[in-house]
């Protein structure tokens, strides 16, 4: 099952985006999971994520990968980290570098990241240009939130403001889901979304760690493969 060229490849195959790390060259490739599904790739050596199970020699649970990745990147004794993905939200609070609380928001209350991509694509909005807004809409889940955005636009509000309100609503969900911390590390694609970061900063100090925290959590497994 290990790739023939012996180049270790680690991957975080999320529901919407896949991050692939070539360990030797330390090069990172990010592709849509839609593209991953269409490619005939050899299986990754170690992988995590919703779409990884049938595409790897060794699978690691996403929350375990997040925990180990967070510990490898953060030196603090007590801290919280949240990974906001396309389909779900994963949260871990550490105390004395031991897991004190974990949670994983699935199904109802989730699918919000993917919804933002659908909405920005639909309205032709560059998500990087969105400005944070004071108001928000209730994002009970991606579907309910999308209905609110459609309603808002149909009443004359601009798509940009409506989507920014959706993002603000998502931020409030994340803040509550993570037990309202004063400071939190952020993992995942929203590290690249200024509107999300600035909206989150209204409630909590945010420290973005980027999109590869889960992949960092896979590195510990590589020693066993070499």
Residues 226, 221: Cα–Cα separation, whole Å: 10
- Residues facing residue 91 across a β-bridge: 82, 103
Contacting range for other proteins; rule: CB under 8 A; set: 96-104, 129-137, 159-167, 214-222 = 96-104
Q: Which of residues 62-81 bind other proteins (CB under 8 A)?
A: 62-64, 67
Taking CB under 8 A as the criterion, the residue among 99, 118, 197, 207 binding other proteins is 99
Q: Helices 112-123 and 142-154 sit at what angle, rounded to 10 degrees?
A: 30
102 near other proteins, judged by CB under 8 A: yes
Q: Which of 100, 128, 180, 202 binds other proteins (CB under 8 A)?
A: 100
Q: Which of 28, 31, 41, 50 binds other proteins (CB under 8 A)?
A: 50
User: Residues near 72 by Cβ (< 8 Å), separated by ≥ 6?
Assistant: 216, 217, 219, 220
CA dihedral 213, 69, 43, 107 (to 10 degrees): -70
Q: CB-wise, 90 or 148, nearer to other proteins?
A: 90
Smallest separation (angstroms) from other proteins to the CB of 92? 8
In this structure, are residues 80 and 185 in contact, taking their beta carbons and an 8 Å threshold?
A: yes
Instruction: Write the Ramachandran bin of 47: left for phi over 0, alpha for psi from -120 to 50, otherwise beta.
Output: beta
Does residue 188 contact residue 84 with C-beta atoms inside 8 Å? yes
Instruction: Supply the minimum distance, in Å, between the C-beta of residue 187 and other proteins.
Output: 15
Cβ closest to other proteins, residue 59 vs residue 136: 59
Choice from 6, 24, 32, 61 touching other proteins (CB under 8 A): 61
List contacts with other proteins (CB under 8 A): 50, 53, 61-64, 67, 88, 92, 99-104, 106-108, 179
């Amino acid at each position: 099952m290990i790739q023939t060229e012996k180049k270790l490849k680690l991957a975080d195959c999320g529901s919407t985006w896949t991050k692939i790390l070539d360990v030797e060259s330390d090069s990172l490739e990010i592709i849509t999971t839609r593209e991953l599904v269409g490619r005939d790739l050899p299986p990754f050596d170690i992988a995590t994520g919703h779409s990884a199970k049938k595409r790897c020699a060794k699978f690691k649970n996403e929350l375990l990968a997040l925990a180990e990745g967070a510990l490898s990147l953060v030196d603090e004794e007590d801290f919280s980290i949240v990974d906001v993905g396309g389909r779900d939200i994963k949260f871990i609070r550490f105390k004395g570098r031991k897991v004190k609380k974990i949670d994983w928001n699935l199904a109802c209350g989730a699918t919000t990241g993917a919804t933002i991509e659908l909405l920005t694509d639909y309205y032709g909005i560059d998500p990087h240009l969105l400005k944070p807004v004071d108001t928000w809409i209730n994002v009970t889940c991606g579907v309910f939130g999308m209905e609110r955005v459609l309603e808002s636009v149909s009443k004359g509000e601009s798509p940009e403001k409506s989507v920014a309100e959706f993002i603000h609503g998502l931020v409030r969900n994340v803040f509550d889901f993570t037990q309202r911390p004063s400071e939190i590390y952020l993992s995942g694609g929203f590290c690249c979304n200024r509107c999300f970061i600035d909206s989150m900063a209204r409630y909590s100090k945010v420290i973005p760690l980027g999109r590869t925290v889960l992949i960092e959590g896979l590195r510990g497994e590589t020693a066993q493969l070499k």
